[in-house]
Every structure is written in structure tokens, then in C-alpha cells.
């Protein structure tokens, strides 16, 4: 199989057989059958599984060479319906590559999955079985059409607009309201549509946005410390002094990361402070920070785009980035911040009326 070419469907089927053989414990037995008739339909791959205790199950596997997230729901439903017609059937979808979004949708619908990069998730209550391995999170054979990544300032600004404004809205209307390039917004919306994260009427407005899924998808390409210019400093007097100085000196700023998340319950106290400013060197001088590489407790971020200063929210007297920006910064931040990002997403779910325009 060429590493530079997406596997064919027959190669995927043979890969399924090899992966299952390698994944199951050695004392389990597997019998693999291909193109098996089941009533008026056929099962592409049927794997009869037997545990050491003699319990049996049947893996009903639907294989596709290419699967877009926008199609995964219907494929999952069809596979589950097919499995219901097989005794002890367990529905599985197999492909050359399944994106994180596709895998999440399959898991939510109770359908297992397997791809040729090593992403595998198979669950069975009887016989008791759970197999989960991680493969690639990026498509080794990306499709040639459309935007493939949410990296960059135009994409970030567009994602913020799609998340921060409540639908329904037209694309031109959203571009004008959020000061986003129409061309960038169109490309991002096309990508989000392929990932089944938005609903849109044909040639009409966007009617629904999976904002949580969109932030999680953005976090695959964005990084708090990678996407912004980073300078590290020491504030020996502590974060209380830093907060007071940020408020009193009048500089333009927006707190993010664990420092901002302290204002959202339930979040643990911050050990470091991350703050967006327009001019880190000038801000450090005004705030009285000491530049250092070792032992720093303050990170000043020169932002990937000025959108970080848009739609800010005040918490405990501190100007913080919009919750959408805070969530992606935490999800891609250092230390414990990714788990705090999950908590911020939960806060956003409970308080959508507070942060969404």
C-alpha cells in the first residue's frame, strides 16, 4: 500500500482484518467473512467473535474509502440498522481515515469505528470487550477541495464570529457585524459544513451552529503559545498587584488562560497569568514586570489578531477575553489548562445568554 495514496476499499478491508487480529487478546477467536448476505442486504465485512468463555458477538462492519463528517450520521444510522438484523451484532464503521469529529459522532451514536491509521474503538457488553487505540488526528491523504485547516488569523477571526453570534444569520450579515473578511468567512463556513458543525438552508442563512464542536475543532489547529507571540516575565508581588496595575494603568489588555478562568466557577487558582496586550515590551515596563526565562509567572501575548480584544467580559474586576477565546486558549494551554477548558465549555453551556450575541 502506497503511503502517498489513500487506501482503496479492498485495501481497507484487508487492513480491517489485520487490525482486528492484532487488537484482540490472543485467546479470542475471530472468523472473518466478506460480502455476507443478510436478508435483502449484504454486510461488507462480518467478523464472528468468540471469547475464551464461549460467548459470541458479530462485528458488522461498513467500509468506506472516504467519509466526510457531514455524512457520518447517516452512515452510522445505516450501519446500526444493519447490525440490528444480525444476532449479537455490533455496528462498526471503517475507513481509510476518520477525523476526530467523525469519531466523536460515531461514539455518540453508539457505533464503533476503525481506520487504517490506527484509530480503533470497539465496545461490547456481552462478551465484555473494550478496545480503544489512537491513530492519526490529521488526514494523511487530505482532499484537494476547500480549506483544510483553521490555522491563521483569518480563520481564527471567522471562527470567533461563527461562535459568538447566535444564528440565524446570513454570511454577509455576519461578516459585516463582526468585521471579518467575507472571503475568509466563506472558506471557514465551508470547512465547518463539511465537518457537520453548522446547519444551513440551501443558499440561505445559517440556522444552527454546534459552537462547542466548533471550538474543539479550532483547537486542533490553534495553540495558545504557538499561535501568539510569547514573552515571559516575573511579577514578584503576585497576581493581586498585577490585576490592580492592569486596571489602574489604563493599558489595553485582555486576560486569558487560568488567570482569567479564576473568575468562572469552579476553577482552581492560577499558578501563572497570561494576558493579551498590543505591545508586550511597553506593557511590561508600565506594569513593572521583570523579563525572565526561568521562574516566570506572567506571560504577555501579542495576539494572532486583534479579535482577542473583541466581545471581552469582565469577571471580578478583570477584563477577560470572550469565553470562546478563553476556551480555546485553555484547551491548548500548558499544564492543567486543557481540563479547565472543558469546565469553561460547561460554564458556556449553562450561561449561553450571558456571552452569546
> Is 139 part of any domain?
no
- Has residue 145 been placed in a domain? no
CATH number at residue 259: 3.30.460
| H helix count then E strand count, the chain | 14, 16
Residues 71 and 170 in one domain: no
Encode 1-14: b = buried (16+ Cβ within 10 Å), e = exposed.
Answer: eeeeebbeeebbbe
To the nearest 10 degrees (0 to 180), the angle between helices 323-331 and 153-164 is: 130
At 243, is the secondary structure helix, strand, or coil? helix
Residue 96 backbone phi and psi in degrees, to 5: -60, -45
* Cα pseudo-dihedral 21, 99, 148, 75, rounded to 10: 100
Boundary-marking domain end, from 219, 235, 251: 219
* Alpha carbon 11 to its chain's center: 29
Domain harbouring 127, CATH code: 3.40.1350.10
Cβ contacts of 29 within 8 Å, gap of 6 or more: 49, 50
Residue 4 is assigned to a structural domain of this protein: no
Asked if 173 and 69 sit in the same domain, the reply is: no
- Which CATH number characterizes residue 210's domain? 1.10.10.10
Say whether both 85 and 129 belong to one domain: yes
Tell me, what's the pLDDT at 146? 60
Q: Do residues 232 and 315 both lie within one domain?
A: yes
The tens place of each residue's pLDDT in the chain, 357 residues long, gives 446 678 887 888 888 888 888 888 888 999 888 877 776 677 778 899 999 989 999 999 998 888 877 788 888 988 998 898 888 899 999 999 998 988 998 999 999 999 989 999 999 888 888 999 999 888 888 766 666 788 888 899 999 999 999 999 999 999 988 888 888 899 999 899 888 899 888 778 899 999 999 999 999 999 999 999 999 999 999 899 999 999 998 899 999 999 999 888 766 778 899 999 999 999 999 999 998 878 899 999 999 999 999 999 999 889 999 999 999 999 999 988 999 999 999 999 999 998 997
Q: Are 331 and 348 in contact (CB under 8 A)?
A: no
For residues 45 and 198, give the distance between their C-alpha atoms in angstroms, rounded to a whole number: 32
In a domain, 332, yes or no: yes
pLDDT the model gives residue 145: 61
Could you give the CA distance from residue 129 to residue 143 in angstroms, rounded to a whole number?
A: 34
Query: Taking a C-beta distance cutoff of 8 angstroms, is the pair 92, 23 a contact?
Result: no
Cβ–Cβ under 8 Å, residues 146 and 187: yes
Do 247 and 346 lie in a common domain? yes
CA nearest to 252, candidates 299, 180, 302 = 302
pLDDT at 254: 97
Q: Which domain holds residue 233?
A: 226-355
Shared domain for 65 and 96, answered yes or no, is yes
266 and 312 part of one domain = yes
Last residue of a domain, one of 219, 236, 263: 219
Domain check: are 241 and 344 in the same one?
yes
Q: Are residues 285 and 212 in the same domain?
A: no
Pick from 63, 126, 49: nearest CA to 92: 63
Check residue 144 and give its pLDDT. Answer: 62
> Do the domain assignments include residue 144?
no
Burial 338-353 (b: 16+ CB within 10 A, else e): eebbebbbebbeeeee
* Structural domains of the chain, count: 3
Residues 27 and 99 placed together within one structural domain of the fold: yes
Q: Which residues contact 81 (CB under 8 A, 6 or more apart)?
A: none
Of 166, 192, 219, the position where a domain reaches its end is 219
Check whether residue 183 and residue 209 sit in a common domain.
yes
Query: Rounded to an integer, what distance in angstroms lies between the CA atom of residue 47 and that of residue 73?
Result: 23
Tell whether 118 and 173 lie within a shared domain. no
Amino acid at each position: 500500500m502506497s503511503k502517498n495514496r489513500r487506501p482503496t476499499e479492498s485495501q481497507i478491508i484487508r487492513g480491517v482484518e489485520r487490525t482486528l487480529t492484532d487488537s484482540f487478546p490472543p485467546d479470542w477467536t475471530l472468523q472473518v467473512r466478506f460480502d455476507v448476505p443478510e436478508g435483502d442486504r449484504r454486510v461488507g465485512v462480518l467478523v464472528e467473535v468468540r471469547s475464551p468463555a464461549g460467548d459470541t458477538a458479530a462485528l458488522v462492519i461498513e467500509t468506506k474509502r472516504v467519509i466526510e463528517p457531514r455524512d457520518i450520521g447517516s452512515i452510522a444510522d445505516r450501519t446500526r440498522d444493519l447490525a440490528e438484523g444480525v444476532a449479537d451484532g455490533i455496528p462498526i464503521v471503517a475507513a481509510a481515515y476518520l477525523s476526530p469529529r467523525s469519531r466523536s459522532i460515531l461514539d455518540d451514536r453508539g457505533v464503533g469505528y476503525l481506520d487504517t491509521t490506527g484509530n480503533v474503538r470497539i465496545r461490547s457488553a456481552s462478551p465484555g470487550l473494550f478496545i480503544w487505540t489512537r491513530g492519526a488526528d490529521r488526514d494523511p491523504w487530505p482532499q484537494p477541495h476547500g480549506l483544510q485547516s483553521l490555522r491563521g488569523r483569518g480563520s481564527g477571526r471567522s471562527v470567533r464570529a461563527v461562535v459568538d453570534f447566535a444564528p440565524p444569520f446570513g454570511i454577509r450579515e455576519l461578516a459585516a457585524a463582526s468585521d471579518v473578511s467575507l472571503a475568509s468567512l466563506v472558506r471557514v463556513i465551508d470547512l465547518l459544513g463539511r465537518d457537520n458543525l453548522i446547519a444551513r438552508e440551501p443558499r440561505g442563512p445559517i440556522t444552527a451552529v454546534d459552537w462547542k464542536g466548533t471550538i474543539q475543532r479550532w483547537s486542533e489547529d490553534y495553540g495558545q503559545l504557538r499561535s501568539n507571540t510569547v514573552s515571559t516575565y516575573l511579577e514578584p508581588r503576585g497576581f493581586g498587584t498585577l490585576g490592580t496595575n492592569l486596571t489602574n494603568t489604563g493599558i489595553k489588555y485582555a486576560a486569558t488562560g487560568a488567570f482569567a478562568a479564576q473568575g468562572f466557577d469552579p476553577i482552581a487558582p492560577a499558578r501563572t497569568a497570561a494576558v493579551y496586550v498590543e505591545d508586550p515590551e511597553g506593557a511590561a515596563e508600565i506594569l513593572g514586570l521583570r523579563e525572565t526565562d526561568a521562574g516566570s509567572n506572567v506571560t504577555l501575548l501579542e495576539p494572532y489578531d486583534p479579535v482577542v480584544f473583541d466581545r471581552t467580559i469582565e469577571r471580578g474586576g478583570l477584563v477577560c477575553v470572550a469565553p470562546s477565546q478563553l476556551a480555546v486558549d485553555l484547551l491548548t494551554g500548558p499544564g492543567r489548562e486543557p481540563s479547565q477548558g472543558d469546565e469553561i465549555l460547561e460554564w458556556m453551556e449553562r450561561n449561553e445568554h450571558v456571552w452569546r450575541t
